[in-house]
Structure 1
Amino acid sequence: MNVQTNTESKTMRELIAFRVSEQEFCVDVTKVREIRGWTPATPVPHAPNAMLGVINLRGLVLPIIDLAARIGFRPTVPSSRHAIMVVEIGQQVIGVLVDAVSEIFSVAEDKIQATPDVASDLAKKLVHGVIPAEGRMISVVSLDEIPTMSVAA
């Protein structure tokens, strides 16, 4: 969406912020179909460690990915306090387990800073930018990388 400020035009992005392992992340709000509470998943044999299993979402078999485990943090022990963000990645719909969803906010595209060069290649693939906001740092996540990422054991 474009918002006019005086005579100059700034491209704004609407993002949804969430927490994983005490860190803040965000994704484009248009990629999020819904947010729901934790529902126990049915394990899938021989699935990657980050895949908690599948749930039935109104007739759709939805794989649930533990984002913390997927990005190399300690695996989450899901509880009723956790949330599942149902997201669209290309033609695929998946559930992403997060600690909590905190807010929807808008930010000017020019306020998103590049991922620092000191970050690993894996981090640069996942995090497309960083937003300094009110004394905190929010990493902009590329959902396209979530299903294909491999994490070293």
Structure 2
Amino acid sequence: MSNLIRRETSHVVAVQEQVGQYLTFLVGTESFAVSILDVKEIIEIANVTRVPLTPDYIHGVINLRGSVVPVIDLSARLSRHCSEVSKRSCIVLVAVETGEGSQLIGMLVDEVREILEIPPANIQPAPDFGTDIRTDFIQAMARVDDVFIILLAISRVLSLDELSLLSDLAQSQEHLVAASD
């Protein structure tokens, strides 16, 4: 029985690698993509509630059908400036695995482009140089029509443990600055 499960699992993985569907979007002027399997929904910018004493990359929270969903400003998370919300800005909802299951998180992006099928032959390992974002955030680089698209490792970019740790650190620094005044 375990051989059957193993064969079915490897078959699913092989099919996923063959399909290679990615949602592409812009952050600033750069093209990024995530596996379509990670995307749960794309929504317009709604009423985002800012949360006091949170780092810049936490844009706020939204109420999605009765659930509170954190929204991460992907530009700020990638160590760039905070996004300016425009008519083309969207929130891409993705599921991130945690120790307790799956957590829905929104990513604020400047523009959603399209869903592309990228063959494995067009996907290359991430370079160790030439990028201004953390290399552990990059899953791979995809070449589409002589343009490179950064495939994000969404579980690392939106790591809840790291986001929580960074938020705690930012709050500690704010308290130190306030105490010294």
* TM-score bracket, shorter-length normalisation: 0.7 to 0.9
Q: Which has the higher strand share?
A: 1
Q: CA 1:43/1:22 → structure 2, altered by over 3 Å: closer, same or farther?
A: same
Q: Point out the structure with max Rg over C-alpha.
A: 2
Q: Which has the higher helix share?
A: 2
The answer to whether residue 53 in structure 2 is matched with residue 46 in structure 1 is yes
Q: Is there any run of 5+ residues in structure 2 with no aligned partner, and where?
A: 1-11, 171-181
Shift of 1:40: 3.1
Q: Give the corresponding residue for 1:76.
A: 83
RMSD: 2.3
| AA partner of residue 50 (structure 2) | P
Shift of 1:53: 0.8
Q: Which has the higher relative contact order, 1 or 2, with Cα contacts under 8 A spaced 6 or more apart?
A: 1
TM-score normalized with structure 1 length = 0.85
The answer to whether residue 96 in structure 2 is matched with residue 89 in structure 1 is yes
**Do the aligned partners of 2:118 and 2:144 also contact (CA within 8 Å) in 1?**
no
TM-score normalized with structure 2 length = 0.73
The answer to whether residue 118 in structure 2 is matched with residue 107 in structure 1 is yes
Deviating beyond 4 angstroms after TM superposition, the runs of 4 or more aligned structure 1 residues are: 119-122
Shift of 1:133: 1.1
Aligned length: 146
The answer to whether residue 23 in structure 2 is matched with residue 19 in structure 1 is no
Instruction: State which of 54, 62, 80 in structure 2 corresponds to 1:55.
Output: 62
**Do the aligned partners of 2:79 and 2:133 also contact (CA within 8 Å) in 1?**
no
Q: Is there any run of 5+ residues in structure 1 with no aligned partner, and where?
A: 4-9
Identity %: 32
The answer to whether residue 154 in structure 2 is matched with residue 143 in structure 1 is yes
